[in-house]
Chain A
Amino acid sequence: MNDIGTLAERRSARLARAAATSPPPVQVRRTTADGEIVHIVQGEQYVSEDPSIVISTLLGSCVAACLRDPVARVGGMNHFLLPGADTARGECENIGIGVHAMELLVNALLAHGARRERIEAKLFGGACVVAGLTSVGEKNARFAEEFLRREGIQHVGGSLRGDSGRRLQYWPVSGRARQVFMGSAAPELIARETRPVAPPKAEDAGALELF
């Protein structure tokens, strides 16, 4: 085993331990000079029409879609990971999870007065932060780009792929975004915040309720 392999293995093991043992952080709000910051983790989203709100998240191979309607002056961010295997079934599960995450965010914007045809998007994340997991970030990035294209949602910017984690801040009303690349800093933090969230329970997903 060469040094690089050993280092990558140690890092992967450390990330796996962090993901397995740390509880998911709760949605945190704190007030700073930038405004009131609402922090989200994998599996969450936040929508606001308050110009003083800043939505933040940490991204590794996950993707955050930042959507807003500049006319309705409402926006929001989600943070999702497509964890499925590279099999036909895994790909189907991935698409289902991704589409659901995006639809929840779009619907939340619509509920705040946004119009679908006015929504513009910025995409962030999809990095290859762990050796051997190259395809995960790419898969997430590709899904997000393809979703916007298919749905006719304007893709106005962002930052996808690369090999570094990102600390992202998004002002949902103005559409301003700020990212800081994290390099090798805080891999455990990224692992904890981006660990896969269990999909909805089987009885909730697709079960028929007759009236």
Chain B
Amino acid sequence: MSKTVLTVDDSRTMRDMLRMALIDAGFDVVQAEDGVQGLELLQETRPDVIITDINMPRMDGYGFMQGVRADAQNRGIPILVLTTESSPEKKLRARDAGATGWIVKPFDPKKLVDAVNRVAA
């Protein structure tokens, strides 16, 4: 059975690039445009892995991750942050918000799939 990845990114182009890379690797993909929609979709689907951007309107990646971790049922879901940011302060903040790992854009599709497989195992 295919594993499901929830991707949260406000860029349609980025969402499409992620979807193509993940579907080619055999994953099912659910997409959200921001943290608010990501939390809504989390009620309907139980993803095996979450990939989230940081800079998003309405609710950013930090708020989204805190929302995910606030529900005890979701505490075991790996969350990968995929962002243009790379400062140690932001990484620390993401870790405190519940992130499992950090990937700096631009992403390499193969490395991204490897990362998802690694945390989903």
Contact = CB atoms under 8 A, between A and B. Distances in A.
Interface of A: 92, 95-97, 99-100, 103-104, 106-107, 110-111, 115-117, 147, 150-152, 199-200, 202, 204-211
Contacts of B12: 150-152
Interface residues of B, number: 33
B53 to A, nearest CB: 9
A27 to B, nearest CB: 19
B112 A116 contact: no
A111 B87 CA distance: 14
5 contacts: A95-B13, A96-B17, A100-B106, A106-B11, A206-B104
Given A110-B55, A116-B10, A205 B17 contact: no
Contact of A103 (B14, B16, B111, B118): B14
Contacts of B109: 92, 206
**Those 5 A-B pairs whose CB atoms lie nearest each other, nearest first:** A206-B108, A208-B115, A206-B111, A206-B107, A100-B106
Given A100-B84, A111-B55, A116-B57, A207 B103 contact: yes
Interface string B48-73: 00000001010000000000000000
